[in-house]
Amino acid sequence: MSTRVRKGMRRMVSIQPVIFSAMVALLSMAFSKPAAAQCSTPGHPACPGTLLTTYYQTAGSAADNMIELINPTGSANFNLIGVEEHDICAMIYVFDANENLGECCGCLISSQGLLTLSVEKSLTANWGLSGGAPSSGAIEVVSANPGGNGDCNAGAGFTTTRELNGDILRYEIVAPNQLNGITAAGGSEVQLQDAGDLPSALQTSLIARCAALPKNAACGCIMPILQGG
């Protein structure tokens, strides 16, 4: 009788570590940080390419264009248990109508973040070429991972990622109405063109041309405060 009891106790002792290990595994799964929400996974739209392009056309402050860039990954609330931050760099390269690069910068966008930039006040105000800021040209935006220090440098090496997307708002001056003489303004919102994945040769060219610009030819990552007048 006592022998059977001792055998049963040995079986219970041997089972306990297995149960404990299973409980640890379940708790680990419950509190581990999930991967940031990625495109092209169930419940998410397909990934855009790593290169987004558009053109801009301005004619004074009343016809400014606005770039809106969105980082749709991760979560905006980092105080929750298990939430992972997933910052993305927007490497921005601004060209004139003759395909000359005049400004560049790297802007960090946090998870679920929206970056809104004025073409005239943020992207061409520090034009690095002679002749002043252009009124038309092209903008290329590369979606990239932050560097080792969490920085975004458009004039240095970086690795691309596919999550970034956005649009451009173009404002246009409408001729004065013949009836009341009032000048009206209209606009359109257009999604940035998906140009596919950035070719390595183009990436090398963009980085080199950006690094060759004067240091003060950097576009701004913060929307300037407009002063009333």
Task: Provide the pLDDT for residue 188.
Answer: 81
Beta strands 184-191 and 165-174, pairing class: antiparallel
Please write the tens of the pLDDT for every residue from 39-93: 666 776 677 799 999 999 987 656 889 999 999 887 666 556 565 678 999 999 9
Q: How confident is the model at residue 16 (pLDDT cuts 50, 70, 90)?
A: very low
Percent of residues, the chain, with pLDDT higher than 90: 52
CA distance 90 to 36: 18
Q: If you average pLDDT over residues 188-193, what whole number do you get? A: 91
Mean pLDDT of the chain: 78
Q: What is the pTM of this model?
A: 0.75
- List the strands of the sheet with 88-96, edge to edge: 101-109, 88-96, 136-144, 51-57, 193-194
Residue 137 has pLDDT above 70, yes or no: yes
- DSSP for the chain reads -HHHHHHHHHHHHHHHHHHHHHHHHHHHHHHSPPPPP-TTSTTSPPPP-SEEEEEEE-SSGGG-EEEEEE--SS-S-TTSTT-----EEEEEEEEETTS-EEEEEEEEE-TT-EEEEEIIIIISTT--STT---SEEEEEEEEE---TTS---TTS---B-S--EEEEEEEEEEPPPTTT---EEEEEEEEPEE--SPPHHHHHHHHHHHHHS-TT-B--SSPPPPPP-
Q: Going by C-beta distance under 8 Å and a sequence separation of 6 or more, which residues neighbour residue 17?
A: none
Residue 4 has pLDDT above 50, yes or no: no
Task: Provide the pLDDT for residue 24.
Answer: 36
Please write the tens of the pLDDT for every residue from 156-181: 999 999 889 999 998 876 655 544 55
Which tops the pLDDT comparison, 151 or 85?
Answer: 151
Which tops the pLDDT comparison, 2 or 229?
Answer: 2
Greatest pairwise CA separation for the chain in angstroms: 110
CA distance 118 to 65: 6
Residues 32 and 87: beta-carbon distance below 8 Å: no
HSE-up of residue 148 (Cα within 13 Å, Cβ side): 2
Neighbours of 36 (CB within 10 A): 18
Task: Provide the pLDDT for residue 225.
Answer: 57
